[in-house]
Amino acid sequence: MAREAEAMGLGEDDTIIRRRLAQKLKFLVEDTAQLAEPTEAELRQFYSANIGQFETPEKLSFKQIYFNPEHRKDAAADASAMLTGLSAEDGDEPSAGDRLLFGDGFNDTDELAVSGMFGADFAHEVFSLEPGAWRGPVKSGYGVHLVFVTQRTATAPKPFEAVRDAVLTEWRNRKQEALTREYFTELRKKYRVELDDGVEAVLDSQPAPSVAVK
């Protein structure tokens, strides 16, 4: 039946079949790219050139005082008023803050984890604070906070031996993207794509798409 359908030309102008054939070719190109393997020297060179991807992220230890806008008339004003009376030297906080499910203290926490708890804007602002003083108010998805950063641990590269597998995976991904991009560049030279005026006008108004297949 498959042969007969092919002989009858049933696959012509069939979007689903064309899409499936293109997908099979994409898989074939990606499998071919996986055959490439770096030497140890190439892998170490790639690690050195992209060392920022293989670092221990910056971490903070901090305390916070939470002001719940649902329980206060003006949580931000209450936070600002309390800030003036806090000691910038020892980081002691009064018990006048509101209860927060996550607690009041966080140790060696990276920005991604803080973002997951309080939101990206809160995390970004907290990680810009210098240790040793109460700051704020800082807004989160829960309300407003006063924050005291007690310690900052800077980013540090992980040893090559500890991340070799991750380096190899990233090298393969980059190699696959490059080979796929080169292959599709050649295909574009081989085949001419014709567009009707309506589609061409829409595409001209959009940024040029990447030829890489991800």
Tell me the percentage of the chain whose pLDDT exceeds 90. Answer: 37
Average pLDDT of the segment spanning 3-8? 85
Chain mean pLDDT for the chain: 84
Provide the greatest CA pair distance for the chain: 86
Q: Where are the domains of the chain?
A: 2-52+159-187, 58-154
CATH of domain 58-154: 3.10.50.40
Please write the tens of the pLDDT for every residue from 173-195. 888 888 888 888 888 888 877 77
Stretch 42-60: mean pLDDT: 90
| Statement: residue 58 has pLDDT above 60 | yes
Percentage, residues of the chain above pLDDT 70: 88
pLDDT at 212 over 50: no
Q: β-pairing, 156-157 with 55-56? A: antiparallel
Categorize the per-residue pLDDT at 211 as very low, low, confident or very high, splitting at 50, 70 and 90: very low
Mean predicted confidence (pLDDT) in 111-123 = 93
Q: Per-residue pLDDT for 161 more than 60? A: yes
- Which residue has better confidence, 199 or 51? 51
Q: Residue 76 — very low, low, confident or very high, per pLDDT cuts 50/70/90?
A: very high
